[in-house]
């Protein structure tokens, strides 16, 4: 019925989310945009900016293949030009070809029967419909350019920067600085009104000092959505609805496959996955512990090459997802180095902690299990002591974590503590270690500190035999003759 179509068209003109879903179908005949909460969240935040309900700035961080570019570089310019045909929009990306592609898609959307029906006052100027720039008959336009390109003599009331830096250039300080300098000194200076003009920066995180990271540090509003929820989070998707995302949930549960995500993580590496998919890039330098201090190993040596393998656990008080993590580390002791072999963390019950430790202890053939002897660890220690072939000891920290870490800095700086070049758990562990003590979490660091403090006490007993003719001297031998004690007797 015509009245139903009129009502729908009125909704498309006033509701950006509804317009985006319908615009996708109009631009891709035969395809339907599968609804998902993250699309609604993006559209809601954008509409709040447009209507003046929120600040006219937004940093948007999402993983690849989540329709970020379609929403902000294709649908949004079309919707703004439909509402006010005289709007002047500047759209930028890291490459001319990509910027031109989004421009073509946006122009094609304006030519669809759907768009012409919904916005009858907005029409393309046939004399100005180039690939990189098209204009309306009301003198509004969408200008496509690359980050670093010239904007001399051009201005606008809307600035959309979609992926300002290429992923391959993320490691280059020169490239990162050039992208941000262009944004600050060139693009933002071309706004018609710095206070009222709309600015959207959309990208996947690539580095802690990428453009979005710098803007977030400067206090810009942000919408950050990781591929896998690390903790429960609430996202507003409309005026009267909030989406409650539980910990561990994939971004698009109906489309994403957990096994495929894990395989992707293995293929691209945990650091790249942490940045581009989790929006949590690894700090490049570090705070108390510097990245340059961390040694590396490619493959874990055979078990027989280690003098000891020790598992340490920092148990959480409660298992709920709103509480701290339980963290476990497994470290192998060699003559001159300490190899971090495995790190695990989770929101586990006491019995689940016990199961995790028993499995890892068997996997790595550990000699000793250390558990932080606090109120939450006492029950776990007792349960573990009932397990066969496990030496278990509790340790009570004698001071705060920062002080304890300061005692271990020398070992890190000397390059004695080695991490694998790649592991599924590596990026999360590095993030926490390098951010300490300023990071949000420190459970994995605490588990490692349990081991390091134990090692500092017993290092002298773990030194190799030294042959000094004409007699054999056992230098700092861990086993006083004639009998060897259990490790828990130390």
**Spatial distance between the Cα atoms of 335 and 427, rounded to a whole number of angstroms:** 27
Residues 190 and 296 in one domain: no
How do residues 165-202 score in pLDDT, each as one tens digit?
Answer: 998 888 888 999 999 999 999 999 999 998 899 999 99
Q: Which sign does the torsion angle of CA 406, 410, 413, 418 carry? A: negative
Beta bridge partners of 369: 311, 392
Query: Would you say residue 482 lies in a domain?
Result: no
Query: Would you say residue 481 lies in a domain?
Result: no
How do residues 431-449 score in pLDDT, each as one tens digit?
Answer: 999 988 878 889 999 999 9
Residues 292 and 421 in one domain: yes
Instruction: Answer for the pair 43, 36: CB distance below 8 angstroms, yes or no.
Output: no
Residues 88 and 213 in one domain: yes
Query: Phi/psi class of residue 223: alpha, beta or left (left: φ > 0; alpha: ψ in -120 to 50)?
Result: beta
Say yes or no to pLDDT of 468 above 60. Answer: no
Which pLDDT does position 489 carry in this prediction?
Answer: 40
Which pLDDT does position 321 carry in this prediction?
Answer: 62
Q: Which domain CATH number covers 80?
A: 3.40.50
Instruction: Answer for the pair 341, 332: CB distance below 8 angstroms, yes or no.
Output: yes
Residues 288 and 197 in one domain: no
What CA–CA distances, in Å, run from 106 to 82, 321, 368? 12, 42, 62
Among 72, 62, 41, smallest CA distance to 275 is for 62
Q: Which residues are CB-contacts of 299 (< 8 A; sequence separation ≥ 6)? A: none
Say yes or no to pLDDT of 140 above 70. Answer: yes
In this structure, what are the phi and psi dihedrals at residue 108, rounded to the nearest 5 degrees?
-65, -35
- Longest C-alpha distance within the chain, in Å? 105
How do residues 284-343 score in pLDDT, each as one tens digit?
Answer: 777 889 989 999 999 999 999 999 999 999 998 776 666 778 999 999 999 889 999 999
Residues 253 and 302 in one domain: no
Q: How many CB atoms lie within 10 A of CB 409?
A: 13
How do residues 58-89 score in pLDDT, each as one tens digit?
Answer: 999 999 999 999 999 999 999 999 999 999 99
Structure tokens at 114: 């759907």
Q: Which domain CATH number covers 316?
A: 3.30.420.240
3-class DSSP state of 250: strand
Query: Would you say residue 478 lies in a domain?
Result: no
DSSP label at 421? S
**Spatial distance between the Cα atoms of 188 and 200, rounded to a whole number of angstroms:** 11
Range of the domain at 209: 2-258
How do residues 223-261 score in pLDDT, each as one tens digit?
Answer: 999 999 988 999 999 999 999 999 899 999 888 899 999
In which residue are the tokens 């959207």 written?
200
CA 238 to chain centroid, in Å, comes to 25
**Spatial distance between the Cα atoms of 374 and 316, rounded to a whole number of angstroms:** 10
Q: Which residues are CB-contacts of 133 (< 8 A; sequence separation ≥ 6)? A: 103, 141, 142, 143, 144
Query: Would you say residue 63 lies in a domain?
Result: yes
pLDDT bracket for residue 480 (50, 70, 90): very low
Query: Would you say residue 468 lies in a domain?
Result: no
Instruction: Answer for the pair 57, 45: CB distance below 8 angstroms, yes or no.
Output: no
Neighbouring C-alpha atoms within 13 Å toward the C-beta of 267:
6
The helix (H) or strand (E) run that includes residue 224 is strand 222-224
Q: Give the residue, 270 or 359, on which the prediction is more confident.
A: 359
Q: Looking at 66-137, which runs of residues are DSSP E strands? A: 88-93, 124-129, 133-136
Residues 335 and 208 in one domain: no
Average pLDDT over residues 458-479: 50
Burial of 463 (0-12, 13-18, 19+ CB in 10 A): middle
Residues 168 and 313 in one domain: no
Residues 120 and 183 in one domain: yes
Say yes or no to pLDDT of 8 above 60. Answer: yes
Residues 289 and 248 in one domain: no
Query: Would you say residue 333 lies in a domain?
Result: yes
Query: Would you say residue 263 lies in a domain?
Result: no
Which pLDDT does position 453 carry in this prediction?
Answer: 94
Q: How many CB atoms lie within 10 A of CB 402?
A: 11
Say yes or no to pLDDT of 479 above 50. Answer: no
Residues 319 and 395 in one domain: yes
Interior/surface letters 133-163, b for 16+ CB within 10 angstroms, e for the rest: bbbbeeebbbbbbbbbeebeeeebbbbbbbb
How do residues 400-424 score in pLDDT, each as one tens digit?
Answer: 888 899 889 989 999 999 999 999 9
Which pLDDT does position 302 carry in this prediction?
Answer: 94
- Rg from Cα positions in the chain: 28
In this structure, what are the phi and psi dihedrals at residue 471, rounded to the nearest 5 degrees?
-125, 155
Query: Would you say residue 332 lies in a domain?
Result: yes
The helix (H) or strand (E) run that includes residue 174 is helix 173-181
**Spatial distance between the Cα atoms of 154 and 98, rounded to a whole number of angstroms:** 20
Say yes or no to pLDDT of 430 above 80. Answer: yes
Please tell me the total count of domains within the chain.
2
Instruction: Answer for the pair 347, 320: CB distance below 8 angstroms, yes or no.
Output: yes
CA 22 to chain centroid, in Å, comes to 31
Stretch among 42-46, 322-326, 395-399 having the lowest mean pLDDT: 322-326
Structure tokens at 474: 């056992």
Residues 82 and 205 in one domain: yes
In which residue are the tokens 């004639």 written?
482
Which pLDDT does position 445 carry in this prediction?
Answer: 95
Average pLDDT over residues 13-30: 96
How do residues 352-387 score in pLDDT, each as one tens digit?
Answer: 999 999 999 999 999 999 999 887 789 999 999 998
Residues 253 and 286 in one domain: no
């Amino acid at each position: 019925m015509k009245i139903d179509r009129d009502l729908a068209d009125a909704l498309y003109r006033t509701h950006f989310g509804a317009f985006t879903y319908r615009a996708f179908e109009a631009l891709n005949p035969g395809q339907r945009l599968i609804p998902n909460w993250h699309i609604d969240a993006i559209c809601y935040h954008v509409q709040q900016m447009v209507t003046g309900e929120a600040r006219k700035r937004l940093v948007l961080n999402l993983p690849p293949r989540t329709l970020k570019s379609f929403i902000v570089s294709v649908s949004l310019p079309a919707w703004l030009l439909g509402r006010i045909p005289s709007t002047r929009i500047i759209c930028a990306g890291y490459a001319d070809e990509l910027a031109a592609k989004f421009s073509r898609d946006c122009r094609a959307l304006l030519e669809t029967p759907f768009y012409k029906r919904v916005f009858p006052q907005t029409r393309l100027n046939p004399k100005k419909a180039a690939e990189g720039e098209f204009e309306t008959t009301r003198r509004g336009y969408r200008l496509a350019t690359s980050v670093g390109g010239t904007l001399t003599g051009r201005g606008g009331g809307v600035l959309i920067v979609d992926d300002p830096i290429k992923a391959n250039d993320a490691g280059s300080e020169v490239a990162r600085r050039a992208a941000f300098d262009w944004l600050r000194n060139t693009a933002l200076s071309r706004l018609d009104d710095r206070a009222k003009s709309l600015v959207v920066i959309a990208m996947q995180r690539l580095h802690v000092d990428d453009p979005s990271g710098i803007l977030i540090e400067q206090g810009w509003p942000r919408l950050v959505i990781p591929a896998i929820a690390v903790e429960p989070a609430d996202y507003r998707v409309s005026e009267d609805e909030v989406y409650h995302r539980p910990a561990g949930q994939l971004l698009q549960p109906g489309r994403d496959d957990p096994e495929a995500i894990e395989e992707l993580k293995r293929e691209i590496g945990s650091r790249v996955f942490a940045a581009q998919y989790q929006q949590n890039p690894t700090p490049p330098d570090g705070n108390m512990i510097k990245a340059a201090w961390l040694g590396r190993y490619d493959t874990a040596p055979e078990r027989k090459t280690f003098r000891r393998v020790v598992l340490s656990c920092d148990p959480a008080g409660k298992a709920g997802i709103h509480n701290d993590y339980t963290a476990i580390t497994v470290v192998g002791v060699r003559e001159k180095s300490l190899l971090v072999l495995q790190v695990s963390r989770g929101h586990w019950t006491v019995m689940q902690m016990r199961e995790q430790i028993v499995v890892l202890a068997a996997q790595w053939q550990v000699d000793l299990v250390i558990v932080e002897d606090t109120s939450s660890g006492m029950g776990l220690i007792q349960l573990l002591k009932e397990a066969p072939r496990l030496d278990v000891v509790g340790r009570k920290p004698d001071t705060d974590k920062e002080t304890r870490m300061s005692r271990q800095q020398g070992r890190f700086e000397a390059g004695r503590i080695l991490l694998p070049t790649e592991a599924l758990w590596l990026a999360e562990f590095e993030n926490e270690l390098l951010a300490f003590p300023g990071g949000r979490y420190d459970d994995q660091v605490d588990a490692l500190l349990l081991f390091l403090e134990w090692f500092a006490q017993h290092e002298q007993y773990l030194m190799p035999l030294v042959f000094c003719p004409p007699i054999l001297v056992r230098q700092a031998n861990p086993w006083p003759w004639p009998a060897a004690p259990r490790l828990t007797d130390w």
